[in-house]
Chains A and B, each alone.
Chain A
């Protein structure tokens, strides 16, 4: 199976200088994994384990200290590659004084979609995320859940092949979580490759084909779906056990 994403010996160190003192902290350390075409890949870890850092390194928001990130065999910074990625941040922020239509128009243009396609896709994705009724309202009036939906809409607008979702169910009510899950399943069925990080073990259990467990910036274990399928709660046991063995503070 072809790999969509290849992460090779990826390391990120943060250097901070203050009043003559320099401190070096590790974001991620020597990460190596790949995400196969058509799979749902989960990143699981405690707060500060390096999940968001990993996603930001993949997306070019952070620059690696060493190591490589390749998407479809090419450098992750390439424009052609980024056209095919959709990203939903943990808490999507938008321009408060703009409407969803205006914001999606911006993102569509930046994703190099032509004008007619932007217009038609905007209507489509707003309907998909059930936000068509608020298409022309300024986003300062939106609730957290509504913003999350718009976040999803902008991630899907340009019909990307690879979706990167950072804590996609944060801020959603139970119905929203279920709808989100169904959407992810549907997208995966259509052939989208999905990488998502989550605290929610139950969501990962239901959706992921493989899960990488991160602890203190390191990849400590990579587990296949077969390890937890048909055993509800098994993923949580594996996660806790892995962390204990890695010496993480629980």
Chain B
């Protein structure tokens, strides 16, 4: 009957190992789908390279961002060109400072602004929205009307006012961006919470006697994270754009600090003197990063498709 006992034994062995299969979480599933998205993966790599550049780049620089190359002064268009032998890989800016070092510095500042702004939005916005949505009723009304009121004030106005009154500093920039960035996040999260809190697994937790705050942290927030992560990756470029715009207006980071926005502003100002590289290098990093963030956000949205499987 059992012509091939070896096969049967093998099968039995396989069966024995079936039970030990480790569960795959939805996150692991999503990761698999994300990795199949070529545009998103390419963007992650590009962004990683830019990040790496901003940390490793300084070791290859021959000029610091503050030194002025006096030899180029007055003849930036000819002597300040990008070249390997002068040590100015990206050329110099209008004052004779090394653009390579300046771009690295700007990259660090801009990425930090974007990430910190998005982080504030994620933490404050998620908790605020989840609490408002979960408790509902009057708590929800009061909390969300506060958000409405804050949203009704033009944020550029607040930001400019803050920077003028308290002086221009990176800290003030973070405070200003942090103040406004979490508002729309709170709205999105609150909406999602409303749908999640009526699911039976939340009722099951309430029925077992789990305190509200633990329910929010353990059941509501993890189920929100898909939406939050997608929105946060789209928020990072938005923050960078805001900062760049403010810097472009001349209110953002202060010299000798710089950011992509400030560099692009400088480069745009000197465009008619034949120093196009002063615009193109910062612009290149700016555009590539923004595109990368958007593609990553798109990829995450596809990967974390909220539809239950």
Whether A associates with B in a native complex is no
